[in-house]
Amino acid sequence: LAVKDPTAVERANLLNMAKLSIKGLIESALSFGRTLDSDYPPLQQFFVVMEHCLKHGLKVRKSFLSYNKTIWGPLELVEKLYPEAEEIAASVRDLPGLKTPLGRARAWLRLALMQKKMADYLRCLIIQRDLLSEFYEYHALMMEEEGAVIVGLLVGLNVIDANLCVKGEDLDSQVGVIDFSVYLKSDDDIGGKERNVQIAAILDQKNYVEELNRQLNSTVSSLHARVDSLEKSNTKLIEELAIAKNNIIKLQEENHQLRSENTLILMKTQHHLEVSKVDVEAELQTYKHSRQGLDEMYNEARRQLREEAQLRQDMENELVVQVSMKHEIELAMKLLEKDIHEKQDTLIGLRQQLDEVKAINVEMYQKLQVSEEAMKEKNEIISRLEDKTNQINATMKQLEQRLQQAEKAQMEAEAEDEKLKQECVNKSESLQNEFSQKEKQLLQLETDLKIEKEWRQTLEDDLQKEKEAVSQLRAETQEIVNLKKEFLKLQEKNKQLKNICEDQEAALQELASKLSESKLKIEDIKEANKALQGQVWLKDKEATHCKLCEKEFSLSKRK
């Protein structure tokens, strides 16, 4: 035969004793039919059995004088794990007659039984086995499954109403001895099985009603809290709605102001645009007139240039004639060698005149370069004049060469020189007159060019002013467009605020409907509680249908 573990046997015996004591206590309490006192024997036996169960496997703790072994240590942990147990622990510590930890533990058990929460407190202890391992051995009853079974059995003690006086009792010096004679069966016990069945059914009904009351109380408290929170939220929403309405009124006023300002701005801008359009049209007309005048001036300048070209052609023809005359002079110089000395003086004068002509040509060339920036078309004419002057220079060089040749024949042409001198003087005077006329014509052309430049400068200034006016008008039109955009944004914000207000009003209506529904539910629950208070629970066999909805009961519906 296998040897049994003595600790397991002890746990089994204690579990059986706990079952017997709890069962006997419940049966005797129901047969007794009133609240139990501290002198009731089955109740005293129950406390003794609970002490033995709690002491099983308890570790010995060293103190200064001796070794200590009490159950008050693990019971003190309950107030840390279960906050509602703080009142019991505080009242146990404040009791004046208790001196030992064992007395405090006994007082704690009695108060827990009166509160009908002994099973809840011990269940918290059993769950936290890491903390219990400091006080109990690994094989203790509270550390094994038997402890959980005992806690489950203790739930049945919630049926009992106990009224125990802890203050005057001597709990420190009580001797905990189990009386087994109470648990021995007799003939009367066999005959009272039916009564026990009835008692068990009544106890089950009582437990069910108590649990229902607890659940209903918890639901009522939660509903009250919800109602309070909903009322607070309702008041807040009403305040927010009033603030939102005030904001909407302010926004509407601002919207009206902005609309009026916008209309004024539109009127001003339209008037300004009309005035600017009239000014622009007038300026365009003046520009067209000035352009026509410039075109006429340009045509006149072209006509003058054509006349100058014709004059230059005439000059070329005259130069050709002069060349032919010079050929004749060469022929005559051969005959007039005698008058060479007089002709040298005339030639010196002619050279000076040629130098002057060259200087005049250089000045004309510079003036034509200045006028090239404004009149590109005159460049070709000036280049032709330069070519012609170069030709004249070439011809003059040829004349000089020929004059050098003629110096050799001065002696032969001295007589004829006097006659030709007068002719040359006359021709040179005519050439000087023609050059002076050309200079006057050039001066007139320069003045005309200056006038044209001034006209162009004035026209450019007018165009710049017109561009600035157009840019100002564009800026004003851009400001009008921006104002329109801002006005559209404000309209969208107004619409959004209106939508938010409508949503808030709908939410308030929904909250009001929910509040009314919750109040109706609370009233229904209160009426159900009132209806349940004065009624008797029927047996499962008799109650086959629900009296409210007239539906057939199943096991889950019945519970």
CA 412 to chain centre: 116
User: Could you give the CA distance from residue 201 to residue 539 in angstroms, rounded to a whole number?
Assistant: 8
Return the HEC string of 123-148: HHHHHCHHHHCCCECCCCHHHCHHHH
Q: How confident is residue 181, by pLDDT bands cut at 50, 70 and 90?
A: low
List the one residue out of 270, 392, 402 whose CA is nearest residue 331.
402
Mapped onto helix, strand or coil, the DSSP state of residue 545 is strand
User: Could you give the CA distance from residue 466 to residue 463 in angstroms, rounded to a whole number?
Assistant: 5
Mean pLDDT check: name the lowest of 101-115, 268-282, 284-298, 362-376.
362-376
1 by Cβ neighbours in 10 Å (0-12 / 13-18 / 19+) ranks as: exposed
User: Could you give the CA distance from residue 21 to residue 158 in angstroms, rounded to a whole number?
Assistant: 15
User: Could you give the CA distance from residue 294 to residue 445 in angstroms, rounded to a whole number?
Assistant: 15
User: Could you give the CA distance from residue 157 to residue 181 in angstroms, rounded to a whole number?
Assistant: 22
pLDDT in tens, 461-472: 888 888 888 888
Average pLDDT over residues 278-303: 84
Return the HEC string of 426-480: HHHHHHHHHHHHHHHHHHHHHHHHHHHHHHHHHHHHHHHHHHHHHHHHHHHHHHH
Q: What is the dihedral of CA 345, 348, 349, 355, to 10 degrees?
A: 180
List the one residue out of 94, 50, 103 whose CA is nearest residue 72.
103
Is the pLDDT score of 373 beyond 80?
A: no
Mean pLDDT check: name the lowest of 185-189, 218-222, 415-419.
185-189
Is the pLDDT score of 421 beyond 70?
A: yes
Mean pLDDT check: name the lowest of 196-205, 419-428, 483-492.
196-205
Q: Output b/e per residue, 98-111; b: 16+ Cβ within 10 A.
A: beebbbbbbbbbbb
75 by Cβ neighbours in 10 Å (0-12 / 13-18 / 19+) ranks as: buried
What are the backbone angles phi and psi of residue 136, rounded to the nearest 5°? -120, 155
The C-alpha angle 168, 70, 119, rounded to 5 degrees, equals 75
Domains of the chain: 10-184 (1.20.58.900)
Give me 169's structure tokens.
């009792």
Query: How many angstroms separate the first and last alpha carbons of the chain?
Result: 47
String of DSSP letters for 359-403: HHHHHHHHHHHHHTTT-TTHHHHHHHHHHHHHHHHHHHHHHHHHH
**H helices, E strands: number in the chain:** 15, 2
Q: How many CA atoms lie within 13 A of 505 on its CB side?
A: 9
pLDDT in tens, 438-484: 888 888 888 888 898 888 888 888 888 888 888 888 888 888 888 88
User: Could you give the CA distance from residue 110 to residue 25 in angstroms, rounded to a whole number?
Assistant: 14
Query: CB neighbours of 237 closer than 8 A, spacing ≥ 6?
Result: 504, 507, 508, 511
pLDDT of residue 249: 92
pLDDT in tens, 377-395: 766 766 777 787 788 778 7
Average pLDDT over residues 80-106: 87
